[in-house]
A and B are shown apart, each in its own frame.
Chain A
């Protein structure tokens, strides 16, 4: 089953990138994707037990999460814009380093949490070390709001135990 997944994942970018649909190019794509899928399917999907329904539900949740994240990014940019354009910038800035523990366990969800923290208002991830996240916050208000609603959202999508 995992060979089928990785074959689809590899073959779709081939079609998009080559852009030719005559039998020679599509056949070459099928052969190459089959070989690579046979050799390296273990690398792509580390957790074997997840069923197809689980994966589809994760995908739907992730698309919804992307939509929410995009709105947060727009807010973050307005925040940076306001701070950068204010004439009394030095009074507005209060940089600080904050450290907190996360309760997420999977590597994938930690990665998504770190990237989301970077893209949301006023905070940037400096280092991820095991369960500890080191965050640099731009203003005082941003430092108080950590880790916020993001962690529970990610936990709802990716950390459901079967």
Chain B
């Protein structure tokens, strides 16, 4: 169980590194949104699943903590794409230009 937890957490950290590099290297706001919206959700969900695995090995009343972490996962899973839409829409309405190949 602990090995599974470590595998999940390190996979999540690798995906988070990819998200960060994408956030730093992409040329415009819209494509940065791609990296943020996807990598953020997946890496957080993976790391929290690993936390559930660690918690459930400790015994006692810890299944309640596992359920609470599952509730956090639920909120992130619903909230993160919705926040991404809201920010994309704000950028579109505020007039951010999409990046083209010949614009640089």
B56 partner residues in chain A, CB cutoff 8 A: none
* Docked pose: A136 CA to B28 CA in angstroms: 12
Whether the Cβ atoms of A136 and B30 lie closer than 8 Å is yes
* Docked pose: A89 CA to B28 CA in angstroms: 13
Whether the Cβ atoms of A125 and B88 lie closer than 8 Å is yes
* Docked pose: A119 CA to B15 CA in angstroms: 14
A-B contact count (CB 8 A): 100
Interface size, chain B (Cβ < 8 Å): 38
Whether the Cβ atoms of B85 and A118 lie closer than 8 Å is yes
Whether the Cβ atoms of A126 and B88 lie closer than 8 Å is yes
Q: Does A95 sit within 8 A of B, measured CB to CB?
A: yes
Q: Which label, helix, strand, loop or mixed, suits the secondary structure of the B interface?
A: helix
Whether the Cβ atoms of A77 and B39 lie closer than 8 Å is yes
* Docked pose: A83 CA to B27 CA in angstroms: 12
- What's the least CB distance linking A53 to chain B, in Å? 25
Whether the Cβ atoms of A16 and B27 lie closer than 8 Å is no
A73-B38, A80-B38 are known contacts. Are A124 and B15 too (CB-CB below 8 A)? Answer: no
Residues 19-36 of B contacting A (Cβ, < 8 Å)? 19, 21-22, 25-28, 30-31, 33-35
Whether the Cβ atoms of B68 and A16 lie closer than 8 Å is yes
Whether the Cβ atoms of A122 and B34 lie closer than 8 Å is yes
Q: Does A108 sit within 8 A of B, measured CB to CB?
A: no
Whether the Cβ atoms of B21 and A97 lie closer than 8 Å is no
